[in-house]
Amino acid sequence: MAETSNTEGSVLVVGGGIAGMQAALDLVESGFYVYVADSAPAIGGHMAQLDKTFPTNDCAMCTEAPRLVDVANDLNIEVLTLTDVLAIEGEPGNFTVHLRKRARYVDEIRCTGCGDCIAKCPVKNLPDAFNLGIDNRTAIYKLYPQGVPNVAVIDAEHCLKLTKDKCGICERVCQAKAINYEAQDEVVTVHVGGVIVAGGYEMSESGTRSEYGHGRYANVITGLAFERYLSASGPTNGHVVRPSDQQTPKRIAFIQCVGSRDITSRGNGYCSQVCCMYSTKHAIIAKEHEKGVEATIFYIDLRAHGKGCENYYISAEKDYGVEFIRSMVPAVRENPADKSLTLAYLGGDGERIEREFDLVVLATAMEPSPGMAELARNLDLKLDDYGFIRTQETDPIATSREAIYAVGLSSGPKDIPDSVMQASAAAGRVGAIIASARGSRLVEKTYPPLEVIEGQEPRVGVFVCHCGINIAGVIDVEALAEYAKTLPGVVHSDHIMYSCSPDGLDTIRSAITEHKLNRVVVAACTPRTHEPLFQETLREAGINRYLFELANIRDQCSWVHSADEARATEKARDLIRSAIAKAALAEPLYTVPISNTQRCLVIGGGAAGMTAALTVAGQGYGVSLIERDAELGGHLRSIRTLLGGDAPQELLADLRRRVDEHPLVDVHLETTLKEISGFVGNFKSVLATNGSTTEIEHGTIIVAAGAKSYEPTEYLYGENARVVTQFQLEAGLAGGTLPIDDGSTVVMIQCVGNRTDERPYCGRVCCAQAVKNAIAIKEKHPRAVVHVLYRDLRVFGLYEQYYLAARKLGVIFTRYDDDDPPKVSAGDKLSVTVNDLVRGEPMHISADLLVLSVGVVADEAHEALGMQLKVPRTSDGFFLEAHVKLRPVDFATEGMFVCGLAHFPKMLGESIFQAQAAAGRALTTMSQEQLTASAVVAQVEPEMCKQCLACVRSCPYNVPKMTHMHYVQIEPAECQGCGICVAECPAKAIQLRRFTDAQIMAQAHAVMNET
Amino acid sequence: MIVAEQKPIGQVLDMIEPFEKILVAGCATCVTVCSTGGEKEVGILASALRLACAARGLKKSFDEITLTRQCDPEFIEPIKEFASQHDAVVSMACGVGVHFMAEHLPPMPVFPAVNTVFIGANPELGVWVERCAMCGDCILDKTGGICPIAGCAKTMLNGPCGGSNEGMCEVDPETPGAWARIVERMKQLGTLDKLDEIQPPKDWSTSRDGGPRKMIREDLKL
């Protein structure tokens, strides 16, 4: 922790994609001010371009949009778009960073995002890069409709006014007076304690392997373009069409590893890690969209190493009928007549096969973003051979410069959850440097005292928004405002050009005071983006935020009924009447402060647990670390070497020393959790140590309880001393205790105990471990023969380069069929027989040592732990996070987090950043002196409760509890306000505040014009 | 607890066909807990009936009420006057409730909206299982706590029968045979030898075969 008084309580996040946003939100919640600088005109990054996400098929925009809104609405996050880093000076804790903010030519404060300028811009034929050029955009445009900030930008290279001093239409149509053709680039200087680089990536477009004809053949597109075709908000509204004739393709081929695992054409010796799964997703969704579509995936190794991915792959093949062909397609040929495409490839028996497809989708490589080299130069960071920021396995988000962290794709290919984890990890790490300045830069607002409205008759004010011409172009807003005056309870009604613009909000504020309004209805756009803004306005005017209702007459009316103005206006009347009826019954609601014990319980003392404990303690909060074994270290104790050369045992020694020495970390060895009660901020636990018990109070829990190695029963393990596991080999190599010399033959068999019916998931780490140990043998004994027998070699991401290294050293990789595993018998030596699929005949190997690559399997003891904590586990026995993509270390229950092998098999580096992430997330809660319980919670009417348990059983957060009072109690501090219990309760004993039955019924009756 | 399930709405519509003013009456005990006839279900059924009648152009009105229990006259008493303003009552209580409403309300038709299916347990949300057949002479002490009357399709007292296949019942291969479970449990309890004793035919007079049952506790009776 920097102790200097000039420590800055602020952080610069470079890049506003999903990782950058996660880092920003975690930091703000932990009490730090954040600048988010993004070179694009809107934040959101690549995730905004995606349709759905594997392996759950969740809509990408639906999960990302709430993050966008949170970033946009936070007073303590300043979003700097069109901005690049120029230079940095200073030291950790106190940097000065100079940024260049390019001219937008649109005033961000004045622009309301109405889109009138875009509708009138005469330059309409510019390829829309966000949609990969599938359709066109105008010279003044928005990057994408949901983008933040919701502000237009002028493309200076193509704007007629800026290039030829003609036109000027946008300035004339903009009623908000936001256009400024005179705008200039400016240099912005910020003072921050640390920097997080979340610089994203580029999907290689140009320079894609030319033999596939991308750019020449109309119907060869990239995977990212395919995402845009699939997306409902994309250029074809979710219809997949062939670019050549706009017809629906029936036969689609997906080619993997285009530019990845390819040192010849792109110099990319790495695997892009996500393509096998996103192509599988593409195939599944294409089949869901259109009946009769045939989808074929051509691949080298099918890499389904992520959580839930192997099952996704199996389901694609078995349930959806996606065809997987293991063959690297050499070239694509276009048939000039109908623009269909012929692929020639080698089949399983080595025969040449030709097949015709309507559309070919290339899984192109993820490469460093174009600005990365300059950014690294300006921040003085070291890059790796491929141009990603260089990091280390044992310190996976640290860069070559202190207090600057690299997250997400900045440091190499990874999927969304890993990127999000790294972002939270960076928030946890950087917070330690600037903890002494926590809160110092936060902007806090002061509000006037609240008006007491309890007991008053409703005095409703109605404001109908024109939204430029978005609403007023279809609906008669003036008539609507007049109509609202006739409705019960309404004492004031007006119409406003842009209700969300600063002057629009002023109008609302003064009307509240002037007309003594105690309820406000705004008829405008969607609560998803605008409700917090209007609620804030109410609070600024001295009335409770919950006395507000939004009638969505734009997205749900003028936009969808633009062809029928009269009926649209009629529907708008219904919507307003309905909102007023609900508002009239609104009651002021109050959030409740609850106490917060700023201490964390970490369960498990392996690499993940120790890292999590040190990250929490690093920010100045106490930790109780419990470990059931007699010593710390967990799985890390059995890791002797690492790909890349880092020394794991030195890491272990260092972690142990730091944990032992840290005054804020209490270590309890041979200790388990005996009992736990309470909720976020207020847990009470009983720890059991060798028969004695200790009680502790804590506010958060991090589960880092690890996993086990699979104990094989296959291949004579335990019967023959020449059969060992990779871990035993690793120990033997380190200790020189195994009889391996230059004359030895070593055989490794992959997937022992994993990817089976019993454990249908990939062990994730075993392929890299085999490669690592094979290299170690060959380096020590170059003449030793090492065979690796595998199904799919899954050395993903940057680990791929070691697969290549192993092959260069002469390690022999032989694939065996999923249904035809090698056979082993013992004699003088071990005899291993494998059906060599390339030669089409059995290969007999006489082996001195057989090494079984065993996976990581869940620990049965965690079933009880899961029950104690009331947190779910997957069918494979690993703990299940709240959301696979965007909440990868949170449990659904507030205040509980997960990391390390307890979550899923992972590499050491992955465990470390996930542990830092769990700590980073826990710190967002722990750094609050008090927590705030939401006002919108479920409330039980005790006399009506029949104790039927429907709520207890249906609540996804385990909040309702039976009390000795013979009714269910719902703790407001824990309730998430989802409303499920309200719907389930057969006695109607539960009401959700702000959405009471009376309010919903009033709304329903009003919309149908009943009273 | 008594478990009931709702009748198809068509049956209810047929019952109320001649009547105009209908009272839908729920019960806040067993049928509430089994999500069949509590306040929420009363609201849903009444709304569904209103919609169905509106769609058929029928002029009917529906009021809603939920009694604490329809099987005690004291809870029926206060709604007598309100009920008599209607032409018919649709009861969402178990058969006992329907019966009691008919007995205690002024003479008016009372129709059942649910079928009373069994007395059982609710192991998880949305699942109910039968555990007792109310035979009136409990023998669970002899069968390891698993009832062959409720659990066996043939109510056999000396089982299993020849239709038991790998522990599953021949009537429904998804259902574990009660006797296989009894044997397993008694093995576990170390009381398997008790099964050597042949059970004589059961006296069914305590069950339904003895006609309608009545229980009187003189010590409680006033």
Per-residue pLDDT tens over the stretch A649-659: 999 999 999 99
Cis amide linkage into residue B160, ω under 30° from 0 = yes
> Best mutation site among A944, A945, A947, A948 for testing chain B: the one with the most B CBs within 10 Å?
A948
Could you report the predicted ipTM of this complex, rounded to two decimals? Answer: 0.85
Mean pLDDT along residues A772-795: 97
- Interatomic CA distance for residues A248 and B67, integer angstroms: 60
Name the band, by pLDDT with cuts 50, 70 and 90, for residue A206.
Answer: low
Quote the Cα angle for A869-A937-A448, to 5°: 125
Least confident of A52-56, A666-670, A696-700, A846-850: A52-56
Range list of β-strands (E), A680-777: 682-689, 692-698, 700-703, 708-709, 723-725, 745-752
Asked if A966 is an interface residue toward chain B (Cβ–Cβ < 8 A), one would say: no
Per-residue burial over A117-155, b if 16 or more Cβ lie within 10 Å, else e, is: bbebbebeebebebbbbbeebbbbbbbbebbbbbbbbbb
A207: pLDDT strictly greater than 60: no
Candidates B28, B36, B40; nearest CB to A985: B40
**What pLDDT digit, counting tens, does each position of A392-441 carry?**
999 999 999 999 999 999 999 999 999 999 999 999 999 999 999 999 99
Q: Verify whether the Cβ–Cβ distance A953 to B28 is below 8 Å.
A: no
Interface of B with A (CB under 8 A): 28-29, 32-36, 38-41, 43, 122, 124-125
Tell me the CATH number for domain A710-855.
3.50.50.60
| pLDDT tens, residue by residue, A300-310 | 999 999 999 99
The CA distance from A659 to B62, in Å, is 70
Contact A813, A788 (CB under 8 A): yes
**Averaged pLDDT for residues A712-732:** 95
The CA-atom distances, in angstroms, between B210 and each of A710, B207, B214 are 63, 6, 11
Return mean pLDDT, chain A: 94
Least confident of A262-266, A853-857, B183-187: A262-266
Lowest average pLDDT, out of A293-307, A574-588, A957-971, goes to A957-971
Which residue in B29, B33, B124 is closest to A953 by CB distance?
A: B124
CA-based nearest distance A994→chain B, Å: 20
Q: Is the Cβ–Cβ distance between A34 and A437 less than 8 Å?
A: no
d(CA A382, CA B21): 83
User: Does A946 touch chain B if contact means CB atoms closer than 8 Å?
Assistant: yes
A1-101+186-200+369-447 and A595-707+858-930, same CATH topology: yes
A852: β partners: A725, A749
CATH code that applies to domain B2-118 = 3.40.50.2300
Per-residue confidence at A51, pLDDT binned at 50, 70, 90? very high
Contacts of A988 in chain B (CB under 8 A): 38-40, 43
Band the pLDDT of A1011: cuts 50, 70, 90. very low
Per-residue pLDDT for A856 more than 60?
Answer: yes
pLDDT beyond 50 at B24: yes
Predicted local confidence at residue A276, as pLDDT? 97
- Residues A271-289 have a mean pLDDT of 95
Task: Break chain B into its structural domains and give their ranges.
Answer: 2-118, 137-209
- pLDDT surpassing 90 at residue A59: no
CATH superfamily entry for domain A202-367: FAD/NAD(P)-binding domain (3.50.50.60)
Mean pLDDT score across all residues of chain B: 95
Q: How confident is the model at residue A251 (pLDDT cuts 50, 70, 90)?
A: very high
Cα gap A847→A335, rounded to integer Å:
51
Would you tell me which CATH number, out of the four given (3.30.70, 3.40.1360, 3.80.10, 3.40.50), belongs to the domain A460-584?
A: 3.40.50
Full 3-state SS string of A354-405: EEEECEEEEEECEEECCCHHHHHHHHCCCECCCCCECCECCECCECCCCCEE
Q: 3.40.1050.10, 3.10.450.630, 3.30.565.10, 3.30.70.20: which CATH number matches A937-992? A: 3.30.70.20
Q: Which pLDDT band, with edges at 50, 70 and 90, does A48 fall under? A: very high
Residue in the block written with tokens 């050491």: A908
Third-level CATH fold of A595-707+858-930: FAD/NAD(P)-binding domain (3.50.50)
Model confidence pLDDT, tens digit, residues A326-366:
999 999 999 999 999 999 999 888 889 999 999 999 999 99
- Bridge partners, residue A747, by sequence: A787, A850
Residue A2: the pLDDT is 44
Q: What pLDDT score was predicted for residue A817?
A: 93
Residues 6+ positions from A1 with CB-CB distance below 8 Å: A432, A433, A435, A436, A618, A619, A620
CB pairs A-B closer than 8 Å: 39
pLDDT for A840? 84
Q: Using the beta-carbon criterion (under 8 Å), do B33 and A954 form an inter-chain contact?
A: no
Mean pLDDT along residues A897-911: 97
* Chosen CATH of A103-184 out of 2.60.40, 1.20.58, 3.30.70, 3.40.50: 3.30.70
Digit-coded pLDDT (tens) for A799-809: 999 999 999 99
| Domain layout of chain A by residue ranges | 1-101+186-200+369-447, 103-184, 202-367, 460-584, 595-707+858-930, 710-855, 937-992
**Which residues does B138 contact at the CB level (< 8 Å), separation at least 6?**
none
What's the average model confidence in pLDDT over A487-496?
A: 96
The reported pLDDT for the residue numbered A1010 is 60
Binned at pLDDT 50, 70 and 90, residue A61 comes out as confident
Confidence check: pLDDT of B114 > 80: yes
Structure confidence by residue, pLDDT tens digits, A154-204: 999 999 999 999 999 999 999 999 999 999 999 999 999 999 999 999 988
Residue A730 has pLDDT above 80, yes or no: yes
Taking an 8 Å cut-off on Cβ atoms, the answer to whether A988 and B40 are in contact is yes
Tokens of A110: 């004045």
CB proximity list for B168: less than 8 A, separation 6 or greater: B174, B175, B176, B177, B180
CATH code of the domain made up of A1-101+186-200+369-447: 3.50.50.60
